[in-house]
Structure 1
């Protein structure tokens, strides 16, 4: 809450929305020790505050954030980034409220273990808002900067729409994986399901570490179909709306299973 500055109104405009999201992202980076260990799920109207819903997935990052918040470092970082990006003066104060579910953590900041317990017990079930996905993509594009232009351009390529992806120079609609996709994958992947699982695991926390080997052991008696079926089911359960067809196709490419990707996309076999 910035007295004299209506952050809620600013966030409702496209330009203001991105700038405020960047302020929030930079503040979290400073106070949680980097860009990992947490996820912004939603930014919303929490009258009279601008509400930011964050899910921590790493205890160390959560603990560091709590310590930064308790020491006032979060407020200081928020002030600095807001002044710089919104062009504000230093003559204002920031008021914050830290909550885990219905618990007001401002009342127990001197008891770190209690705060961590409240946060652990109130982990949200919601998935990240599509609006946040869009803002994250904007931020990543800005950080990477414009792509270098090739020395000669013979033909300008049409941009791929945000709800589509490209495979073998063809554009396909991106969508959530369906039961039919899971069945088609499980029927065709065979012994290569582990390779696909590890490729998916590069961007899916639920498939990292020993998860693939644990699946193989747990469903060994049921056979390869069931192992592959459970792999994709676990991916969908963990990623929710982010379990998109493009991610599976990319994993199949990485595993040199392009023919299975072509089959799942309904492409005609090459002559």
Structure 2
């Protein structure tokens, strides 16, 4: 092939490369659309629920609303369940997940997380009159949990060692009902649900007795979207500092965001 033909072929290839379409990153796509699609479970009060007029409300709902407002975007909720939060993100149905999504090593293998915008305090709760300050006080008693939760997994591992048994219910609503009706000696759940039990039966005065752990609640996003993650992290840091995220959390959960999250650099 002659030098002239080589030059023509090279120019043609370079032209094709230059004109190849460049895929926009997730942040650019959101901004171009003018709308952010947020996957939120609306069946887990007080984080996500529907009011009497079927309007979404809750701490995660208001967090999403604040984000959309600050970014100058329309907000579209993608109703989800716990099991479909991550699939909705991976299939492109949602841009982000704001739905009590705790950060775990297993989830971090398939999606990325923002920095924590709130926290989930996992506790042992019991009536105020029940003396519980350590595991020895629980020996010989049953702890009520929701089946398949992180609390269930944590307690199952050490139940025999601590001399306790586990009473399981299939969902949070049934577990709360058992506690409210006096069928539970103690519960292992979130501090938020302990507060709800207390509200439904003030006579028992359920309260947190021991903290098991504090889970980071973060915004989920697709893997390898550094621009979107950086913007989310910046927004969360600013709104933790100005107190807006804490005000939302306290409004619905009855307590501030755990200090482990608020005081994090």
Length-normalised TM-score, structure 2: 0.22
Higher RCO (C-alpha 8 Å, min separation 6): 2
Which one has the largest radius of gyration?
2
